[in-house]
Amino acid sequence: MSRRTAIVVGVVAAVALAFVALLATRSPAESGTSSAAVGRLAPPLVGTTLEGDAFDIDDLRGQWAVVNFFATWCPPCVTEHPELVRFAEENRGRAQVVSVAFDDTADNVEAFFRDNGGSWPVLAGDTGDASLDYGVVKLPESYVIDPTGTVVAKLDGGVTAGELQAVIDGTGT
């Protein structure tokens, strides 16, 4: 190996290590990450809940909403679920959590909620292009929608009740 090749390999390795270190040290939920949806009216989200009820995100105008894209096979999704339950309980009447299952079966999702709690609308199955419309890149992702229907924050990774609370209280992004 020539000296020049060794230097190039060394530089590439150093950059790769720095990138891995950056990813390994970021917090589980990076808030305020970019999404075309943030700052705009929430994209359409319509479907049928696990209970068979019609759902339309526009019906939640007048209160806060948290749209959480998740899957039962996603470990960070499973980890964040108790935080969503806590947030929903602490904000009953002020904020509504909505879960959108991604690449999962209705049976798996129904069993997950039965075993882990959560009494909010859950869309599984035909959710149209919701993940594309919201700009979902990886699971879990949560979008906070203010009472006017505007997406005010995108939170990547496992969220906590405190992080969601900070957004709706105006102290976080």
Q: What's the CA gap between 69 and 64, in Å, rounded? A: 17
Between residues 14 and 70, the one the model is more confident about: 70
Residue 89 inside a domain? The answer is: yes
Q: Does residue 98 register a pLDDT over 60?
A: yes
Residues 13-32: pLDDT tens digits? 443 433 333 333 334 344 44
In a domain, 117, yes or no: yes
pTM: 0.78
Cα distances (angstroms) measured from residue 86 to each of 19, 142, 154: 34, 15, 19
The tally of domains found in the chain comes to 1
Answer yes or no: is 44 within a domain. yes
CATH assignment of the domain containing 128 = 3.40.30.10
* Structural domain includes residue 7: no
- 42 is a domain residue: yes
